Structure 1
Amino acid sequence: MRVRPLATLSVVAVALLALAGCSSAGSPSASGSADPAASAAASLCDSVAASGAASDAVSVTGDVGSAPTVTFTAPLDVTGVQATTVVKGTGPAVADGDYVTIGYAGYDPATGKSLADYKSDDPPAPMVANSILGSAFGCGTVGSRAVITVPAANSNPAAVYVIDLLSSTPAAQWCQPQAPASGAPMPTVTWDDKGVPTVTVPSGQTPPTSVTEQVLTEGDGDTVQAGDSVTLNYHGIKWSDGTVFDSSWTRGQPATFTTSQVVAGFGNALVGQKVGSQLVVVIPPECGYGTATTSNGLGGQTLVFVISLQSTARG
């Protein structure tokens, strides 16, 4: 399972690969999520980490939105999460839950060497407290650049990140699902005698450019709310070639996660649906795994999910 990285991970547990949005899994969620209740209890504006000797020791030059020139004397003693604002942006302040785009680069505090070249093509992630973005910016302004140091935790090494806050979109406007337009091509779903779906993508048709969902069967159970923990079965294919990349039905066990722990298009499609419902959802790249190539092969892909909701519980 694949959680949207960066914003949902605890700042002391985030690894470089998680920050970069890499994963060996193809499905919409993964391990490593933060406690949603803890995130809700903290104020985004109050979540900014204090600056300290380590973050202040990092010198950064260059324009926001482009690769920075970073220098510091190694080894840098990273013993806690520290954040120093390098550039204060002049754009709008971000609010809790806003979807933000970022640029970032990572460095090894022990050697000063690059861990990740500057990257700015990941899909947007929600801005929440108790996250590396919350610790770097809080409710800061678009156009800001920050240095944040993250100590080693579990199997994740210590790291220094330079992060640019490039844009912000209110959650209510980001990747919200809509019904198929009249006459628009949609995948078809058939079920075998065990209730396992097969999905067929319309041949030669251009996929929708926004999150599009179609309710196949409407349930009569509780309605899923944002942040709920849901248990469901799902089956995911690529629109481009119909390849199945993950399926809880195939594994023989439903998945459980919160609506905020998955890619935006998947999570938003669940909100407002009733337990017992079955639906098909088409998710364009920017609402899934982004437009760039990723190690899991899902970057740049329009994804199709069949979902069968089994239960929901308040987060």
Structure 2
Amino acid sequence: MRIRPLAALSLAALSAVILAGCAGSGEPDATPTPSASSAASDCGLDPQPGADSDAVTVSGSAPALTAEVPTDLEFTDLQRTVVTEGDGDDLAGGDLVSGQYVIIDPATGEVILDSATLSADDSGLVPITVNGSSIFGSAVLCAPLGSTTAFTIPGSLLGEGASNAVVVAQSVEQLPTVATGEDQAPVDGMPEVELADNGEPTVTIPDAEPPAEVQIAELKKGDGATVESGDTVFVQYSGIKWSDGSEFDSSWSRGEPTQFETTGVVEGFQQALEGQTVGSQVLVVIPPAFGYGEGEINDADLTGETLVFVIDILGVQRAATQQ
């Protein structure tokens, strides 16, 4: 499916968030491609502290972070200040943590988005994928777990006509990057799944005709929050073609979990996610009618292919429109 992390909130996507005042990143992309890191450094965007980020006053701790932003910041470059340093290990790309982030309009001091309002449980925390190619991932990357940071972002980096923005964030707890739920009995007729030591699945397709309807089996049952329609899910996944057993897409190959809205993927994938619980591992078989449509199978796209996915559901964030 070549899923793009629809809510990864790259610099361009953050602009859309600020302008729209919600957590989505625009229209779903039917055939997205993996995104590369925006910098060669292990610390990604690697923003340094400066006068702007140093001037942001952060109070409280997650999930009750607040900040005061002076109105005279210059926003000449991207800056990050570690306001309070945590006592955990430095976070690296590919980690998944719980935490809080707050987006602030520096012109008014108004909070544009507080992730605590999007939490799927009573903790007030949301998952954050640590990487160097997104704003929130960079906000906590290469800082000790538990740190609070202030991030000042010039509008010129967010896109034409975009406003300056301030993000404050705190990482709280390391989250598993594999499903941790209770093993479930295999379902007859479904593909077989074997897991490597790191949790990456290998899928064996049955010697049989593919089903005409979506088939879903729980391989592990988690006890976390339930995924609802429109939520942003944080997952590991592998996608395999039924026709030849070849893998066509995988978060494992990119070295980190990915995230997207349940309404931003094909129907069969959406069915596999919604109603499941965090910590679960789901196996789904998606016929063409619920994937990329009927037609002659070819190497150019996924038309006509029956698709098999193994999905580890690691976290969930509610849609802003549900608040």
Identify the TM-score tier after normalising by the shorter chain.
0.5 to 0.7
Is the contact between residue 89 and residue 141 of structure 1 (CA under 8 Å) also seen in structure 2? Answer: yes
**Offset of residue 140 of structure 1:** 1.3
Q: Cα gap change, 1:66/1:124 in structure 2, threshold over 3 Å: closer, same or farther?
A: closer
Moved over 4 A (4+): 9-13, 18-21, 23-31, 176-180, 183-188, 210-216, 220-225, 239-242, 250-255
**CA separation in 2, counterparts of 1:73 and 1:55?**
10
Aligned-pair Cα RMSD in Å: 4.9
Structure 2 matches for 1:285-304, cutoff 5 A?
A: 286-287=314-315, 290-293=316-319, 295=321
- Asked if 1:65 corresponds to 2:62, the answer is yes
**CA separation in 2, counterparts of 1:92 and 1:101?**
14
What letter is aligned with 2:159? N
Q: Cα gap change, 1:72/1:113 in structure 2, threshold over 3 Å: closer, same or farther?
A: same
Q: 1:17 is matched with which residue?
A: 17
Aligned length: 251
Aligned with 2:108 (options 111, 127, 130):
111
Q: Cα gap change, 1:73/1:293 in structure 2, threshold over 3 Å: closer, same or farther?
A: closer
What letter is aligned with 2:49? S
Q: 1:154 is matched with which residue?
A: 159
Identity %: 20
What letter is aligned with 1:144? S
Residue 139 of structure 2 aligns to a residue in which SS? helix
**Offset of residue 16 of structure 1:** 6.3
Q: 1:78 is matched with which residue?
A: 75
**CA separation in 2, counterparts of 1:181 and 1:212?**
18
**CA separation in 1, counterparts of 2:211 and 2:307?**
12
Aligned with 2:134 (options 106, 127, 131):
131
Q: 2:146 is matched with which residue?
A: 143
Q: Deviations along 1:228-257, whole A, 9 cap, x unmatched?
A: 9xxx98832335689x9x9551498947xx
What letter is aligned with 2:165? A
Residue 97 of structure 1 aligns to a residue in which SS? coil
**Offset of residue 75 of structure 1:** 4.7
Unaligned runs of 5+ in 1: 189-194, 256-275, 300-315
Q: 2:222 is matched with which residue?
A: 209
**Offset of residue 162 of structure 1:** 0.8
Unaligned runs of 5+ in 2: 120-124, 192-209, 224-235, 256-264, 277-285
**CA separation in 1, counterparts of 2:16 and 2:101?**
11
Q: Cα gap change, 1:13/1:82 in structure 2, threshold over 3 Å: closer, same or farther?
A: farther
What letter is aligned with 2:172? L
**Offset of residue 139 of structure 1:** 1.7
- Asked if 1:167 corresponds to 2:157, the answer is no
The TM-score with structure 2 as length reference comes to 0.58
Aligned with 2:213 (options 198, 220, 225):
198
Q: Cα gap change, 1:125/1:209 in structure 2, threshold over 3 Å: closer, same or farther?
A: same
Q: 2:260 is matched with which residue?
A: none
